[in-house]
């Protein structure tokens, strides 16, 4: 397992490509959008430069890492890969279309992994002829910093595939956690209802944005308040995950807060759009 491809060069995909390249893997970073691909490659270079400036990496290590990264706009390069990690937008139709193509292009031994935050791995696997080799590999944002990888077993994922991904996760110096395929897995099943409840607390006028975040930071020792965290994740992504939980469990406790819907409809998507619960430059 030496050569991998990451599909989608956005905030997650570029981070995933970076940590694999830093750990000695040969990496193709793929995006169908050339501008997005360039932005992803530039972000990696910026982060590595900062690491060199801070003395966490040498110039040679940076050059070696960049040498292991190959930008790509066509999926054909996946035919050389042992593992492919998909990190495109959180949309089932887009993901299944990518997995169908990968199933045709890649050799039989290739493991196909998804970085989805909430979509069922079993359903993604069902469009391929190798469901035993399809698995969830859910990294946390920002990928170079966060230690956890949630590994999600689809209904038909084999033990061999699970073990291979577990070994790879350790080789990235990250900690794997084994999770079965249920809506929101573990991370978002617990995190998103907390964020949604914080939004309800604001919606019902219990306290201000800043005070809600202060309660959770100083009172519960969270490094970041839930409303700021929602802005960083993206309010559209938060709404999408709440909808997956609501539909998947059929339980009203997961209903998305109307204020979250309103902000998303207004285009207030958090940090990436300049406005969410807070204002950003
Ligand atoms: P993003 O919007 O920053 O990046 C997605 C990229 O995929 C874009 O550059 C887009 O051009 C590209 N893309 C779309 N369709 C494609 C295709 N068919 N082929 C190749 N490239 C394609 O999104 P982000 O935030 O990086 O999320 C990606 C995935 O990671 C989603 O499934 C998301 O749920 C998941 N995720 C996101 C986290 C977050 O905090 N944002 C955390 C953990 C997982």
Ligand 1 mean position, distance from CA 12 (Å) = 6
pLDDT recorded at residue 91 = 87
Query: Span 247-262, mean pLDDT?
Result: 97
Whether 36 contacts 66, CB under 8 Å: no
pLDDT at position 1 over 90: no
pLDDT recorded at residue 239 = 95
Catalytic member of 188, 197, 210, 252 = 188
pLDDT recorded at residue 206 = 98
DSSP three-state, residue 263: helix
Hey, which of 42, 87, 245 would you mutate to test ligand 1's pocket, going by the most ligand atoms within 8 Å of its Cβ? 87
Is 138 one of the catalytic residues? yes
Name the residue with the closest Cα to ligand 1, atom 41.
233
The tens digit of pLDDT for each residue in 96-127 reads: 999 999 999 999 999 999 999 999 999 999 99
Is 129 one of the catalytic residues? no
Residue ranges lining ligand 1, Cβ < 6 Å: 7-13, 30-33, 36, 87-90, 94, 98, 115-117, 138, 141, 233-234, 237
Catalytic member of 14, 90, 115, 150 = 150
Query: Span 275-279, mean pLDDT?
Result: 98
Catalytic member of 30, 117, 118, 196 = 117
Query: Span 201-227, mean pLDDT?
Result: 98
Ligand 1 mean position, distance from CA 224 (Å) = 23
The tens digit of pLDDT for each residue in 39-75 reads: 999 999 999 999 999 999 999 999 999 999 999 999 9
Percent of the chain predicted with pLDDT > 70: 100
Nearest-atom number in ligand 1 for the CA of 88 is 7
Is 109 one of the catalytic residues? no
pTM beyond cutoff 0.90: yes
The tens digit of pLDDT for each residue in 148-181 reads: 999 999 999 999 999 999 999 999 999 999 999 9
Residue 175, φ and ψ in degrees, nearest 5: -105, 120
Ligand 1 mean position, distance from CA 136 (Å) = 14
Hey, which of 10, 29, 101 would you mutate to test ligand 1's pocket, going by the most ligand atoms within 8 Å of its Cβ? 10
Q: Quick one: 270 exposed, middle or buried, by C-beta within 10 A (0-12, 13-18, 19+)?
A: buried
Sign of torsion, CA 140 8 235 273?
positive
Assign 13 a pLDDT band (cuts: 50, 70, 90): very high
Question: Average pLDDT of the chain?
Answer: 97
Query: Span 192-197, mean pLDDT?
Result: 98
Sign of torsion, CA 74 80 86 87?
negative
Q: Which residues of 146-175 are buried (b: 16+ CB within 10 A; e: fewer)?
A: eeebbbbbbebbbeebbebbbebbeebebe
pLDDT recorded at residue 272 = 87
Assign 90 a pLDDT band (cuts: 50, 70, 90): confident
Quickly list DSSP for 165-233.
HHHHHHHTT-EEEEEES-TTTTHHHHHHHHHHHHHHHHHTTSS-HHHHHHIIIIIH--SS-HHHHHHHH
Is 117 one of the catalytic residues? yes
In this predicted complex, what is the ipTM? 0.98
Hey, which of 11, 74, 88, 105 would you mutate to test ligand 1's pocket, going by the most ligand atoms within 8 Å of its Cβ? 88
Q: Residues near 134 by Cβ (< 8 Å), separated by ≥ 6?
A: 99, 111, 112, 113, 114, 121, 124, 125, 128, 154, 156, 157, 161
Assign 281 a pLDDT band (cuts: 50, 70, 90): confident
Name the residue with the closest Cα to ligand 1, atom 19.
32
């Amino acid at each position: 397992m030496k050569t991998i491809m990451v599909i989608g060069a956005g905030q997650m995909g570029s981070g995933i490509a970076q940590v694999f390249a830093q750990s000695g893997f040969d990496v193709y970073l793929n995006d169908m959008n050339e501008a997005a691909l360039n932005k992803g490659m530039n972000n990696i270079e910026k982060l590595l430069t900062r690491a060199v400036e801070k003395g966490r990496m040498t110039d040679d290590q940076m050059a070696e890492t960049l040498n292991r990264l190959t930008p790509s706009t066509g999926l054909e390069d996946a035919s050389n890969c042992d593992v492919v990690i998909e990190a495109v937008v959180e949309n089932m139709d887009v993901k299944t279309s990518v997995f169908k193509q990968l199933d045709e292009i890649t050799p039989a031994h290739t493991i196909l992994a998804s970085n989805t935050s909430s979509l069922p791995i079993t359903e993604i696997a069902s469009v391929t002829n190798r469901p035993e080799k399809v698995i969830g590999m859910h990294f946390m944002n920002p990928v170079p910093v966060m230690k956890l990888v949630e590994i999600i077993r689809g209904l038909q994922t084999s033990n061999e595939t699970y073990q291979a991904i577990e070994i790879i996760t350790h080789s990235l110096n990250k900690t794997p956690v084994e999770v079965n395929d249920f809506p929101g897995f573990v991370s978002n099943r617990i995190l998103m209802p907390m964020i949604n409840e914080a939004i309800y607390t604001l919606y019902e006028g219990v306290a201000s944005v800043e005070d809600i975040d202060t309660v959770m930071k100083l009172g519960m020792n969270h490094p970041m308040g839930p409303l700021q965290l929602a802005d960083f994740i993206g309010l559209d992504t938060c709404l999408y995950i709440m909808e997956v939980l609501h539909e998947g469990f059929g339980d009203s406790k997961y209903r998305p807060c109307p204020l979250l819907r309103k902000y998303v409809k207004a285009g207030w998507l958090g940090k990436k759009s300049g406005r969410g619960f807070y204002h950003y430059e």
